[in-house]
Amino acid sequence: MSLSGAGKVAGVVGWPIAHSLSPQLYGYWLQDLKLDGVLVPLAVRQEDLTSVIAALKRAGFTGVNVTVPHKEAAFAIADDRDAAAEAAGAANLLVFHENGRIEARNTDAVGLTESLCAEMVRGKEILLLGAGGAARGAVLALGELGAAKIHILNRSTAKAADLAKKLQPMVKAGLTAGGLNEWADRAGHADVVVNATSAGMRGNPPLELDLALLSKKPVVVDIVYNPLETPLLKQAKAQGLTVIDGLGMLMHQAAPSFEAFFGVKPRVTPGLRVALEQALNRSEPYVIGLTGGIGMGKSETARLFAAEGIPIHDSDVATARLYGKGGLAVEAIACAFPGAVKDGAVDRAALSAQVIGNPEKLKQLEALVHPLVAAERLEYRRNTSAPIIIFDVPLLCETGAEAEVDAVVVATAPEQVQRERVLARSGMTAEKFEALKARQMSDTEKRQQAHYVVMTHKGLDHARGQVRMILADIRAKLKQHA
Ligand code: NDP
């Protein structure tokens, strides 16, 4: 992905975001409809959501999709809300209007409604598992499709009861609530079972349910789509039950968002489904996060990995692209830091002058730049076929980017060596060095977070030997897990 030169730009915000299929989904439609645009996946921490949304608005984004865990916070940030968002108390879509207002919408319910057929639900008794954001949308969708009764079972019984109470005035179906431990009493009555918990999602343990108790042979729906065949669906299939996976809902909830961002209504087609299935089945590379304080030898270590044939994404180069002519950060920086953009590109010296010694301004800048650079890394990871890749990130541990990687490698050297190396650089002063160091996590803390450490003060051959040992260790682990 290039974040420069694109037409309309929208985002998807979540934490983490690597699991999101939205970039591929939107990419398919953009290509199919021959539209110039891009959907940027943005890993945004809870505490940064408000400042990132403000920065994206300034950067000219048309809006963002919102995923876990930000749906309720996004709802609160908005100036206006559509009826579906009001009903759900959560937003999965923020539209940035030209008049500066942010509108919260929620398309989860419509996504599920479109992906199920009314005959399956009308007049039926539904067992709904979960009481989170998606379950709210599911109650509204099942109500809309004419369900007679919906029993909400959740790990936290109080949350299920609260949901039933809040949503009862909005749906005709009778709502009741209980704990997941009531499965045995309820299972025999269900015509349809819908899992709207995040149990069974990649990395999460599945629910322990006895499906033999489903005596009415219900249809089993799982809105989790990664993996496509969840443990629940696998078990249901084995019992001879009809199953529906979460991809239909995903595609249908995305269609109105796409229209809001890019102005054209896309179609949900079998071709799109095939493309998403392929994306889900792709094997992911092993990602090494390479970092190190200023003067610690990170760049030299990166060159040694490159010499071993490991592809590298360099976050500094990505930042330069964002700051260059047509780069996605330019407009937002021009707005927030007057005088920092010259001839259509960010003037780094002018920008530094405004942020150095001004923590508030620095935070504002980081809220914009870090998620955009992370988005480039994600795209790089998706587009590579190499089994091992490197993310070279100077502030890996400071920005939470270690969550994107499988192992952290820290380049290090004794403090005295670091000092000598940095002060030998042209234009460097002791004050500048101290200011730069103060922005970074200490070397000791970094090494504590490292899976591997490369000592860079013992000569190139020594460092090369360590790099080779790291790669041999990782390859052996990958072989073990293959
Ligand atoms: P929330 O975090 O709001 O809710 C999570 C729900 O899962 C809660 O009910 C929680 O129970 C329950 N839960 C989590 N872990 C367990 C566990 N180990 N055992 C039992 N229950 C558990 O998430 P969302 O509602 O937003 O999303 C839920 C799932 O739906 C996610 O996997 C998401 O990816 C998927 N989804 C799919 C969509 C699609 O288009 N296909 C659209 C939206 C969501 P408790 O309240 O007790 O914590």
Domain ranges of the chain: 8-108+251-280, 110-245, 286-481
Q: From the alpha carbon of 253, which atom of ligand 1 is closest?
A: 40
Whose CA is closest to atom 21 on ligand 1?
Answer: 155
DSSP code for 227:
S
DSSP string, 22-85: HHHHHHHHHHHTT--EEEEEEE--GGGHHHHHHHHHHTT--EEEE-TT-HHHHHHH-SEE-HHH
Q: What region, left, alpha or beta, does residue 399 occupy, with left being phi > 0 and alpha being psi -120 to 50 degrees? A: alpha
Query: Of the CATH numbers 3.10.50.40, 3.40.718.10, 3.40.50.720, 3.40.50.150, which one belongs to the domain with range 110-245?
Result: 3.40.50.720
From ligand 1's centre to the CA of 198, what distance in Å? 3
Q: Please, is 188 exposed, middle or buried when counting C-beta atoms within 10 Å of its C-beta (0-12, 13-18, 19+)?
A: exposed
Q: From the alpha carbon of 250, which atom of ligand 1 is closest?
A: 40
CA angle 56, 24, 89 (to 5 degrees): 55
State whether the beta carbon of 141 lies less than 6 angstroms from ligand 1: no
State whether the beta carbon of 19 lies less than 6 angstroms from ligand 1: no
Report the alpha-carbon distance of residue 331 to residue 337 in Å, rounded: 10
From ligand 1's centre to the CA of 57, what distance in Å? 29
State whether the beta carbon of 231 lies less than 6 angstroms from ligand 1: no
Same fold, 8-108+251-280 and 110-245: yes
Query: Of the CATH numbers 3.40.50.2020, 3.90.960.10, 3.40.50.10860, 1.10.4000.10, which one belongs to the domain with range 8-108+251-280?
Result: 3.40.50.10860
From ligand 1's centre to the CA of 154, what distance in Å? 10
Report the alpha-carbon distance of residue 391 to residue 270 in Å, rounded: 35
State whether the beta carbon of 439 lies less than 6 angstroms from ligand 1: no
Under DSSP, is residue 179 helix (H, G, I), strand (E, B) or coil?
A: strand
Q: Which residues contact 346 (CB under 8 A, 6 or more apart)?
A: 323, 324, 327, 329, 330, 333, 340
Query: Of the CATH numbers 3.40.630.10, 3.20.20.140, 3.30.1340.10, 3.40.50.300, which one belongs to the domain with range 286-481?
Result: 3.40.50.300
Residue 348 confidence (pLDDT): 95
Residue 6 confidence (pLDDT): 56
Decide: 232 and 220 in contact? Cβ < 8 Å: yes
2-16 b/e (C-beta count within 10 Å ≥ 16 → b): ebeebebbbbbbbbb
Query: Bridge-partner residues for 414, per DSSP?
Result: none
Q: Which of 21, 198, 225, 276 to mutate to test ligand 1, by most ligand atoms within 8 A of the CB atom?
A: 198
State whether the beta carbon of 223 lies less than 6 angstroms from ligand 1: yes
The torsion angles phi and psi of 42, rounded to 5 degrees, stand at: -125, 115
CA pseudo-torsion sign 305, 308, 314, 317: positive
Just list the catalytic residues: 71
- Report which secondary-structure segment, H or E, holds 186: helix 183-186
From ligand 1's centre to the CA of 155, what distance in Å? 11
From ligand 1's centre to the CA of 233, what distance in Å? 16
State whether the beta carbon of 111 lies less than 6 angstroms from ligand 1: yes
Instruction: Name the stretches of the chain with pLDDT < 70.
Output: 1-6
Q: From the alpha carbon of 92, which atom of ligand 1 is closest?
A: 43
Residue 399 confidence (pLDDT): 85
| Residue 139 CB neighbours (<10 A) | 30
From ligand 1's centre to the CA of 123, what distance in Å? 26
pTM, full prediction: 0.83
State whether the beta carbon of 254 lies less than 6 angstroms from ligand 1: no
